[in-house]
């Protein structure tokens, strides 16, 4: 049983490591870089990991890559974004003569839940159709505006790049200031926000909403309800909070309409897109802290987004605020969340906190300037760590200044946030495995 689970984890890690290695080699080629001096190997590796993990943190300006280099980054974003879910399905389908075993289907269903078709190629088809359709529509809509604002001949690629980057929640931009130059353009910002939200909801939610809309089923699943309500609540509360906290700060020079759109954008982009229209280093301390919370929460399960996911956040929150019955379950609406679900959510959250603590601690060792490092510097380091873990890509400006050791820590944090937690969520034993029962003993807590 353990060997089977190990092979699943090895396939997951192998895919991302292979994609990262290919990306690093291609980006290190002289043909991929237009800047001076030549791009270093560590920066090529950093960019490759950031693209594969759809993070968006950069140590060098993406605009300095050649057309070939930008194409490589786009390739890494697309295949990295779809990799967590799509690759596992494609892998099992391709090596099993278009058939998937019951054991392997269990792994796929961990991301797609029980209401999805049993046929793996149906799952794959749905994922690809949704992804490419949304990206194509987004690219067309962005092209309508970019053809008026970017140099002639580059509008189409710019639109395709930003559409894929937004849907995959990657946060990479071909503009040196990300989307700050479009802070006064609600058309561009609204399209980018919609792409981010759709990419972060998850394929299961999209299918469930479609089935209810076309009356193939009568009601939403509990999963869909939690995801939609939590997403709307986080966007609304976050936007209102940013509007109030930044009203006289980064939003001060904007009109009311622009204030609302940019506050809304700042609420959506931390969950895990990484584009920015506001200088993150100029945000108030409260706004930075709220951004860090949103970065950790991230998007939803079975989506391209990172973070601990909205469902985990809600379940852990309910475990804190509501009473757990004698069977370890939590009642939510007219349903009950099983003990297994509650326990896994708490363990998942605990592992996430452990990664964040370790990453931030090691960055303080490599990046803080001795005894002179103050609260502001620590906030920048913590912000960087949270952004890397949540595969967000927002930065207060620390990323290009990182030491070689600091870059290594961020690389590991991005990989852990994107691949590590998913791997750790795969149980070591199969559900039907009979484990040895040990006598129970009480330990005082609290």
**Three-class SS of residue 33?**
strand
> For residue 209, what are the CA distances in angstroms to 117, 218, 219, 232, 311?
15, 10, 9, 15, 17
* Mean pLDDT score, 365-381: 76
Domain contains 439: no
In this prediction, residue 97 has a pLDDT band, given cuts at 50, 70 and 90, of: very low
Domain contains 409: yes
Residue 94's pLDDT is 47
Greater confidence, 106 or 285? 285
Residue 435's pLDDT is 53
Got the DSSP string for 71-118? Answer: HHHHHHHHHHHHIIIIIHHHHHHHHTTT---HHHHHHHHHHH-TTS-S
- Return the exposure string of 209-228: e unless at least 16 CB atoms fall within 10 Å of the residue's CB, then b: eebeeeeeeeebbebbbbbb
Residue 398's pLDDT is 92
Quote the domain boundaries for residue 35: 2-425
Quote the distance between the C-alpha of residue 381 and its chain's center. 19
pTM to 2 decimal places:
0.88
Domain contains 441: no
* Mean pLDDT score, 44-67: 95
Domain contains 443: no
Domain contains 268: yes
Q: How far apart are CA 171 and CA 258, in angstroms?
A: 21
Half-sphere exposure of 70 (CA within 13 A, CB side): 22
Domain contains 405: yes
Domain contains 430: no
Domain contains 438: no
pLDDT at 428 over 60: no
Any residues with CB less than 8 A from the CB of 119 and at least 6 apart, and which?
A: none
Which two tokens mark 34?
């237009």
- Our count of domains for the chain comes to 1
């Amino acid at each position: 049983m353990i060997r089977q689970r190990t092979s699943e984890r090895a396939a997951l890690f192998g895919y991302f490591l292979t994609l990262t290695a290919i990306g690093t080699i291609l980006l290190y080629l002289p043909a991929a870089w237009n800047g001076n001096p030549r791009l270093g190997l560590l920066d090529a590796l950093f960019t490759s990991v950031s693209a594969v993990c759809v993070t968006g943190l950069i140590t060098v300006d993406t605009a300095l890559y050649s057309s070939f280099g930008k194409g490589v980054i786009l390739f890494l974003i697309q295949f990295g974004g779809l990799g967590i879910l799509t690759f596992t399905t494609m892998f099992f389908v391709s090596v099993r003569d278009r058939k998937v075993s019951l054991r392997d289907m269990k792994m796929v269903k961990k991301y797609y839940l029980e209401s999805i078709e049993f046929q793996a190629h149906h799952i794959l088809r749905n994922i690809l159709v949704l992804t490419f359709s949304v990206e194509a529509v987004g690219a067309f809509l962005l092209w309508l505006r970019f053809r008026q604002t970017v140099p002639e001949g580059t509008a189409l690629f710019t639109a395709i790049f930003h559409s894929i980057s937004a849907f995959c929640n990657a946060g990479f931009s071909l503009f040196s200031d990300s989307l700050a130059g479009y802070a006064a353009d609600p058309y561009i910002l609204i399209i980018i926000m919609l792409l981010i939200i759709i990419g972060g909801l998850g394929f299961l939610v999209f299918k469930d909403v479609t089935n209810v809309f076309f009356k193939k089923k009568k009601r939403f699943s509990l999963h869909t309800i939690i995801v939609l309500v939590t997403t709307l609540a986080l966007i609304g509360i976050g936007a209102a909070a940013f509007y109030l906290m930044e009203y006289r700060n980064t939003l001060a020079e904007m009109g009311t309409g622009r204030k609302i759109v940019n506050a809304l954008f700042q609420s959506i982009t931390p969950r895990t897109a990484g584009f920015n229209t506001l200088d993150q280093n100029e945000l108030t301390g409260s706004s930075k802290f709220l951004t860090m919370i949103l970065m950790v929460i991230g998007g939803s399960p079975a989506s391209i987004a990172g973070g601990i996911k909205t469902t985990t956040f809600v379940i852990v929150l309910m475990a804190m605020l509501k009473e757990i019955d004698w069977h370890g379950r939590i009642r939510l609406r007219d349903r009950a969340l099983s003990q297994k679900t509650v326990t896994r959510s708490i363990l998942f959250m605990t592992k996430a906190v452990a990664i964040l603590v370790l990453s931030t601690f090691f960055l303080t060792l490599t990046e803080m300037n001795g005894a002179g490092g103050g609260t502001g510097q620590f906030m920048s380091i913590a912000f960087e760590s949270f952004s890397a873990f949540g595969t967000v890509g927002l930065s207060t400006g620390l990323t290009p200044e990182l030491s070689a050791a600091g870059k290594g820590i961020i690389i590991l944090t991005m990989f852990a946030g994107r691949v590590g937690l998913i791997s750790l969520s795969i149980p070591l034993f199969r559900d039907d495995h009979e484990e040895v029962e040990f006598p129970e003993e009480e330990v005082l807590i609290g």
